[in-house]
Amino acid sequence: MYGLWLLGLSFCLRTFPRRQSQPGNVKIQTMKRRHHALKQEVLQLFKTLHRTRQQVFRNDKRALEAARVKINEEFKKHKSETSPEKIKEMMKLGSDVELLLRTSVIQGIHTDRDTLQLVPRKDLLTENVPYCDAPTQKQ
């Protein structure tokens, strides 16, 4: 039985020789790896935008839905983009939007006809610097 297995193995090695890597194959493999890495970055940005949307617009169903639709629409609109430079440019824009949402958006609730109650998230208030009426000069 062992002899048959060795015979089968030697037959396979003769019939299906290993492909030698050629310069063109290495270049294609490198491009595929870069494409895969870029695709993973885009997917990560997509998930990050949705997580930020959920945090920023918590308890506001209308805003949550509108932001979800807008994020999905923008990603679907550019789904067929193949230029790495253009993709990176759009990813930079998406990252900037995520940062703006996370650091600058505060929810407001209409309490009266002319009154808005602001509901800031705790993470927005952590880096707040108190106002000083009489600043002192540094020496």
Does residue 3 form part of some domain?
no
Does residue 79 form part of some domain?
yes
What residue type is 15 in one-letter code? T
Does residue 69 form part of some domain?
yes
Q: How far is CA 91 from CA 67, 99, 137, in A?
A: 17, 12, 43
Of the CA atoms within 13 Å of residue 2, those in its CB half-sphere come to: 0
**Torsion on CA atoms 74, 75, 80, 84, rounded to nearest 10:** 100
- Percent of the residues in the chain that have a pLDDT greater than 70, as a whole number: 70
Mean pLDDT to the nearest integer, 116-131 = 72
Q: What is the DSSP letter of 133?
A: S
- Predicted local confidence at residue 74, as pLDDT: 93
- Percent of the residues in the chain that have a pLDDT greater than 90, as a whole number: 37
Nearest-5° Cα angle at 47, 44 to 49: 110
Q: What would the pLDDT profile of 11-64 be if each residue is shown by its tens digit?
A: 444 544 555 555 556 667 776 777 778 889 999 999 999 999 999 998 889 999
Mean pLDDT to the nearest integer, 102-119 = 85
Nearest-5° Cα angle at 50, 49 to 56: 85
Does residue 13 form part of some domain?
no
Does residue 114 form part of some domain?
no
Q: What would the pLDDT profile of 54-92 be if each residue is shown by its tens digit?
A: 999 988 899 999 999 999 999 999 989 888 899 999 999
- Predicted local confidence at residue 3, as pLDDT: 41
- Predicted local confidence at residue 130, as pLDDT: 66
Does residue 34 form part of some domain?
yes
Structural domains counted in the chain: 1
Does residue 62 form part of some domain?
yes
Does residue 84 form part of some domain?
yes
pTM over 0.85: no
Domain containing 83: what range? 26-105
Alpha helices in the chain (DSSP H): 2-15, 23-56, 61-77, 84-104, 122-125
Of the CA atoms within 13 Å of residue 133, those in its CB half-sphere come to: 0
